[in-house]
Chains A and B, each alone.
Chain A
Amino acid sequence: MNIADAVVFVVDDDTLFRRSMERLLSSVGYPVETFVSAWEFLQREPPTGPACLILDVQMPEVNGLALQELLAGAERLMPIIFLTGYGTVPISVKALKAGAADFLQKPCTDQVLLDTIDRALLQAQQAWCEHAKQTTVQQYLKTLTTREREVLALVVTGMLNKQVADALGMSEKTVKVHRGRIMKKMHAVSLAELVRLADQGGITP
């Protein structure tokens, strides 16, 4: 299963191994980018779509685990698959705890490798979808006025219009008008959807 435009990054200090990975993944049809060190990888622009990172553990200067730390927060959009020549239990536990998608031992068959990559990319795609949705909600939220935000915050808690009016010191009719505008600006068709969108946008009861 290929995900359109999904990029596979390979960071490994071993030239021959990098070349072999590039060759294998290209033969399957993945766009591949390889890097000799963590520094080289960090100099690249962050990806704008689904991607995954195949990372060696033992590397000079910044090793795989250190790079994982530096990339913390981004791994949902770019899952990290560790691929090591000699993995110990403590290292793999540390990597997985820090959010690695998988921890593979060299050499591994293309089936295992490609399945893992596919899984990681699927995960990345879903993350990107989520990410995209979140971005939309944020954009909608930005169009709300301060008063509308205040109203929204109380509406999602399940308050009735009357209660909201009392709480904000406004008439029930004004609350109704605000609610109608909020529904329109947030592209929500029901209260339930509005609650969900507010939740995605970080407005929680």
Chain B
Amino acid sequence: MTEQVCNPMHRPSHRRLRTRQRSFNGDDAVYIPHIISQIQQAEAASEASLRFESLLASLSTTFIKTPVPDIERQIEVGLQRVVEYFALDCGVLSELLDETTTPRVRYWYSMPGVAVPPGLLSLNKFFPWYASQLTQGNNVGCAHIDELPAEAGADRQYWLCSGLQSFLAIPLPVDGVVVYVLSVATLCSEYTWTRELIVRLQLIGDLFVSALMRKLNQEKLEKHLLLETLVADLSTVFTKAPASNVDTEIEDALRYVAECFGVDQNFLLEFSADHMALSTTYGYVVSRDSHISPSKICIDQELPWFTDQLLRGELVRFHRLDELPVEAALAKEAWLKRGIKSALIVPVSVSNTTICAFGVAAFRTEIDWPPTWILFLRLIGEILANALARKRAEEVSSRLWHELTHAARIAMLGELTASMAHELNQPLAGILNNAQAAHRLLAMESPDLVETREALLDSIADDQRAGKIVQLLRALGKKGVVERTPLNFNTLVQQVIRLVQSNMFEKQVTLSLDLAMDLPTVYGDPVQMQQVVLNLMLNAFDAMQHRTRCPRVLAIRTAHEASTAITVSFQDTGIGVNETTMRNMFAAFFTTKAEGMGMGLAISRTIVEAHGGRIWARPNADCGTTVCFTLPVSCEVAV
């Protein structure tokens, strides 16, 4: 307070006090009544001063105690107190966004029945003098509109129309730049703006501004914290997200980012293969405005300037479209068409190569992008780009694995050509025999219709048998999508046996089946599972190929444990495997066969594990090996 007393704006009253002291110390005490009147005036002034100081103290205490979210309301309350205290009609605190546009009225108060006149609200082209005075830091005011200087002619015209009597506008600078304006006015009576009053209003205005600054700083800090938390959250999410979830995680992240930054839309742009164009891979648009469709975010045309800028590692940042250089005309037009007012787009590099760009944009208001956001956007862009790169890599590897599995299946089917031909020719031969027999039977004088009917029924049965084999072969040969259906392994094992039967006879292998009753259903891809069973059977045949002394027996067993898992085991009487082979047999490219690729068991393991199961091998007590796999019995993966 003492400081404020020394403020030059208090100078007039000081001067007056000094004058009074001098005349008091003077020789002649003739003008006593005059002195009394002077004393009375001084007392009145001192009382007014006291009253004002108590208002100021009260306001300042209020603002100190007011938590940030309440500051705006308290400013409005403060304006009301000011208007009432100084017996004015209205008070406005507005923010100058810049000199050419209308100031944004942040807070105002007007006495009941009094409308805030437009002159106090707008600084547009109708009030050029007023605007220039304020931006230069000069107070503007008049007791009556007619007192305005000649150069304010244009302004005056409009003020006259607005019904203003007296007004005062005080610019309130922040760091040397006029940001806020406190304006007060009367509409019905003239008001004399004494220096004292101006100083007092200025003090109150400073109080408002300092409270607002506190609020802004606090908000800025909170925003910064929020963005830091956002980056931390996103990096945690994407570190944990499996490749299959990356899509949804990115979409969620974009919504989260838009909320945290308070922007209307954000997007991840990817360069085309030739780096000529950019396309939107992921985007989010706030849906509060239903007329904004997500297609707005698509940058689907070639914008050379924009692409070049980002490829050079430069960011694209504009507060208003006008700020864009001439060479960006095409981009400007594209954005204008999409209603974009402000945008900030940063290039994102992964291992020193710009692979995409991340950006935020606004279409409802213009946003002057804070410099700190660039860093945050770069960080977020990198997190998203890394996740995307990981997802792409996993997609490629998954596709290759799928192809390899298919190739292995086809190779396995190749081994079964003889068996398959036999299995198909058998029913075909039966059908032909039956048809020919029926033909002969009918040609007889008294045809044996019962026998003919039997022949036809057998043909149907044979045909169905052939059909099933063709179906199985087609399924194994196709390169379809992986599906999950309920599977009964007893049926599945028997289907595969049918396929390898002749192969088995040829290799003189005897099969011993021990299929569990009430085997629970498991969920899985039928083709992949047949592939596993086929692979394990063919491996067993190979293992027994060079066994001449002891019988070649393959024992296949299905079993279940407490209804939680099923086990399928393949026990052979083959040559067995050594410890090294036992350890490595499920690894890719490990083989003991001259023509083997070493992929069969590796693929089987991948398939079993992808179904939540486990596969292992153990030596038998006497001779040969047993390979087992388990699969969980669960309904949760049911499609």
Contact = CB atoms under 8 A, between A and B. Distances in A.
A60 interface: yes
A27 B447 CA distance: 10
Contacts of B425: 85-86, 105-107
Contact of A108 (B421, B422, B423, B429): B429
Contacts of B434: 20, 23-24
Interface string A29-69: 00000000000000000000000000000111101000000
Given A19-B458, A58-B506, A59-B505, A106 B437 contact: no
Interface in B425-468: 425-434, 436-437, 440-441, 451, 454-455, 458, 461-462, 465
B421 A85 contact: yes
A37 B427 CA distance: 18
Nearest to B501: A58
A88 B503 CA distance: 13
A16 interface: yes
A23 B454 contact: yes
User: In terms of DSSP, what is the predominant structure of the interface of chain B?
Assistant: helix
B423 A60 contact: no
A85 B419 CA distance: 9
A85 B423 contact: yes
B606 interface: no
A109 interface: yes
A23 B441 CA distance: 9
B440 A16 contact: no
A78 to B, nearest CB: 22
A85 B506 CA distance: 12
Contact of B502 (A17, A23, A86, A105): A86
B430 A20 contact: yes
Contacts of B203: none
Contact of A24 (B417, B427, B428, B437): B437
Interface residues of B, number: 34
Contacts of B423: 85
Interface in B83-121: none
A107 B428 CA distance: 6
B295 interface: no
A28 interface: yes
A83 B426 CA distance: 10
A115 interface: no
A110 interface: yes
Given A16-B465, A19-B458, A24-B436, A63 B505 contact: yes
B510 interface: yes
Contact of A16 (B462, B502, B504): B462
Interface in A64-111: 83-86, 88, 105-110
Q: Which of B417, B425, B428, B451 has the most CB of A within 10 A?
A: B425
Contact of A107 (B432, B465, B502, B504): B432
B510 A20 contact: no
B418 interface: yes
Given A85-B425, A86-B421, A107-B425, A14 B430 contact: yes
B426 A17 contact: yes
B429 A20 contact: yes
Contacts of B506: 58, 63
Contact of A110 (B424, B433, B441, B455): B433
B430 A17 contact: yes
Contact of A58 (B454, B458, B502): B502
A21 interface: yes
A146 B417 CA distance: 64
A109 B458 contact: no
A8 to B, nearest CB: 13
Contact of A85 (B426, B431, B432, B455): B426
B505 A107 contact: no
Nearest to A113: B433
Nearest to A105: B425
Contacts of B419: 86
Given A85-B429, A106-B425, A106-B428, A27 B440 contact: yes
Q: Which of A88, A109, A110 has the most CB of B within 10 A?
A: A110
B249 to A, nearest CB: 54
A16 B458 contact: yes
Given A86-B422, A106-B426, A20 B505 contact: no
A27 to B, nearest CB: 4
Nearest to A111: B436
Contacts of A23: 433-434, 437, 451, 454-455, 458
A11 to B, nearest CB: 13
B433 A85 contact: no
B508 to A, nearest CB: 8
Contact of A109 (B436, B440, B465, B505): B436
Contacts of A109: 432, 436
Interface in B450-491: 451, 454-455, 458, 461-462, 465
A23 B259 CA distance: 82
Contacts of B505: 58-60, 63
Q: Which of A20, A24, A26, A110 has the most CB of B within 10 A?
A: A20
Q: Which of A60, A88, A106 has the most CB of B within 10 A?
A: A106
Contact of A20 (B418, B458, B508): B458
Contacts of A21: 433
Contacts of B465: 16
B427 A16 contact: yes
Nearest to A18: B430
Contacts of A24: 433-434, 436-437, 440
Given A84-B422, A107-B431, A110-B433, A16 B461 contact: yes
Contacts of A19: 430, 454, 458
B426 A14 contact: yes
Contacts of B424: 85
B109 to A, nearest CB: 100
Contacts of A110: 432-433, 436, 440
B541 to A, nearest CB: 14
Interface of B: 417-419, 421-434, 436-437, 440-441, 451, 454-455, 458, 461-462, 465, 502, 504-506, 508, 510
15 contacts: A20-B434, A20-B437, A23-B454, A24-B433, A58-B422, A58-B505, A58-B506, A60-B510, A63-B505, A63-B508, A83-B429, A106-B426, A107-B432, A110-B432, A110-B440
Q: Give the top 8 A-B pairs by smallest Cβ distance, nearest first.
A: A85-B422, A106-B429, A20-B433, A107-B429, A85-B425, A86-B421, A27-B440, A24-B437
